[in-house]
Structure 1
Amino acid sequence: MENQIFELKYALDTFYFLICGALVMWMAAGFAMLEAGLVRAKNTTEILTKNVALFAIASIMYMVCGYAIMYDGAIFLSGIVGDGVAGAEEAATYAPSADFFFQVVFVATAMSIVSGAVAERMKLWAFLIFAVVMTGIIYPLEGSWTWGGADVFGLYNLGDQGFSDFAGSGIVHMAGAAAALAGVLLLGARKGKYGPNGEVHAIPGSNLPLAALGTFILWLGWFGFNGGSVLATSSVGDSNAVAVVFMNTNAAAAGGAIAALIVGRILFGKADLTMLLNGALAGLVAITAEPSTPTALQATLFGALGGVLVVFSILTLDKMKIDDPVGAISVHGVVGFLGLMLVPITNPLTDDGGASFSGQLIGAVTIFAWVFVASLVVWGILKVVMGIRVSEEEEYEGMDIADCGMEAYPEFVKG
């Protein structure tokens, strides 16, 4: 009887893990649609190529070395099976291969964040080479210090410092934004984005319906992102935890969307759709660090804080001439940091776990410093060896023709 119960729990938790992983994989489509909608028409094919290719690269690199670095575990190569990949160990609550799949879609998410920030002026192959290093080494090493439980370069353990990140506001989202920021600083702004006297010239996206669709896809996928991080659903306690996480994830997105919409109306006198979309995503990022302990009202307020912050962050980065076509650095980086710092409010440090403000700050600085510096080095090497920015003529003509030789909307005039 006990064995039958164990097998049932094992099957349910494995199935839940896989379904949540599939939802997170669907976020790749969300990022692709969001970015395709927010770039100019002449850069659409290239942005789609990047998003499909980076997911494939992440899947391969995490299999080859990323998972082993992050969890000191098996290398998932054909013919090489380790740590129970082929079947259940008695101590396991779900199939190890399901854990691998769930983790690999997270690393792809971190890399997707980079794609939008460097859009419309980065060479495709420079980006893809960076994706190899980011998904195979930079992210897994940072992940080993957090979810993997390893010491930071053998110096200190973030868990011992009072650091907690339930589903990755810092580990995934802020990390992706740190890599993006390093690339953007070396790339420079798009031609015509900023005037000689500090003027900011808006460069509208080509397809706002597509951007809105991408946001809804990401909103849906986020239930797998946060809900799957409960890691189980086969008991009453786990099922209740999953339900709370789903509820709070949705509440935070709603709070972020409405807050950004209202702030945009106050600042611009109009309902700004792009700020509304980024506000919803900011709410999702803000709650990701701890979606299991707030009440629904608290989650809504946390999301609203993210929605307000993202608007001002986007405007501030523009004043600093940091050109981010989709607002990824603000949504995932600035609000990712906010999400980490909100954790101790509802999950304070105790003997049973939780987080402290100092621990969260130490963790945030560690993650950002490592990913930013390592990315800056890789981007810098690529810049010297092969260049990372297309020519001015290619940028004017569009990345679709320069990198892919085809246009996404050939029947329309270039935008």
Structure 2
Amino acid sequence: MKMTTIKKVETRDARFPLKPGEGVDAVHSEPIYSYAVTRLLTDTNDAATGIAFTLGGGNQLVCEAIELLTDRLVGQEIEDLMSRWGTVSREMADHPQLRWLGPHKGVVHLALSSITNACFDLWAKARQVPLWKLLIDLSPEAIVDTLDLTYLEDVLSREQAIELFNSNRPGREDRMEVVRDGYPGYDTSVGWFAYADDLIVANAKKALDAGFTAMKLKVGSADSARDLRRAELVRDVVGDSARLMFDANQAWNLPRAMDMCQNLADLNAFWIEEPTHPDDVLGHQKLAKAIAPSAIALGEHVPNRVMFKNFIQANAMQFVQVDAVRVAGVSEFIAISMLARQKGLKVVPHVGDMGQLHQHLVLFNHISLGHERVFLEYIPHLRDHFVHPAHVEAGIYRTPDVPGATCDLKEIENT
């Protein structure tokens, strides 16, 4: 195994304006899909890319935080670094001055996401394997060494984490079939909030023709009748057999969410996503009880493992939408996936346009942790900017086979 040492860390503020209407929801009306990028340059030909996702404004602040946190990485050999990443990442998150800006959320945590993802990308490239392959080949002990389990010890100790992997080893060979078969996707781009009714109808038909059997519609209008009309239009197009999800992007207060979730549940909603403020654990708990057996999906704006622990313990979510470019990268994603697995909850990552990274992590979740194969969000608006864009065919993510996390951006690689 070759030795790969980090010689330099660079950051890039990468922003990609969207076409009119793309990415618009009930709360985020002017999105610019953007990445705070960490680049690790090495003493070999390997260079790594890590990304955290923003909507444009403030992206440069995340890049500045990356620069403040990464001085300790220069001179580190990647195998040695990742053997103690849980400790290293904890020290970064608990920076004695920058921690005041969080803790474990906001600009600094997004910076840690980008840094962590770059380190995992470099680790996989140094071993010349895709990220999913790196992760499933690691021993339980090696994986747990990459995790910061601080504040989870009451529910997930190191010993319990290792046992969780060992207890899910039976059936692993059968679950490896997902590598051959691919991972199902669902289409979010059919129903952006600003799209006209005729466009969402046409998009829903197009998604069905492309092989998708699940899709999502944005809701959260000031006029409830608009949401329900659009929801009925899409349900009429896709029929009763397709899975249809509704995403309010935190637009409703709790009383409004109670009313709207009940109405949407009548349309056989597979889940209702972010119905109210993402910090309101007890509000989601109350809502989940009220609309059962309809399901709550949550996680796009849940910033760290401690908040996820609270939502999971409160039975306030049924679908865990942890995002590896929102929490502290791959390692915190894995810790949260383990919390969900303990409770038998399904993990369906919030993807943004990060199917690039999450296409690896859902394979790991299924193969190594025994998570159910559900589906992975598909939003194609930025695929042309990636060197190795996700390959989605007939509604299925095909397994990536190039080394690394497939997050390299053309605009950066070509400079």
TM bucket by the smaller chain? under 0.3
The structure that is strand-richer by fraction is 2
> How high is the TM-score relative to the length of structure 1?
0.27
Higher relative contact order (CA 8 A, sep 6+): 1
> How high is the TM-score relative to the length of structure 2?
0.27
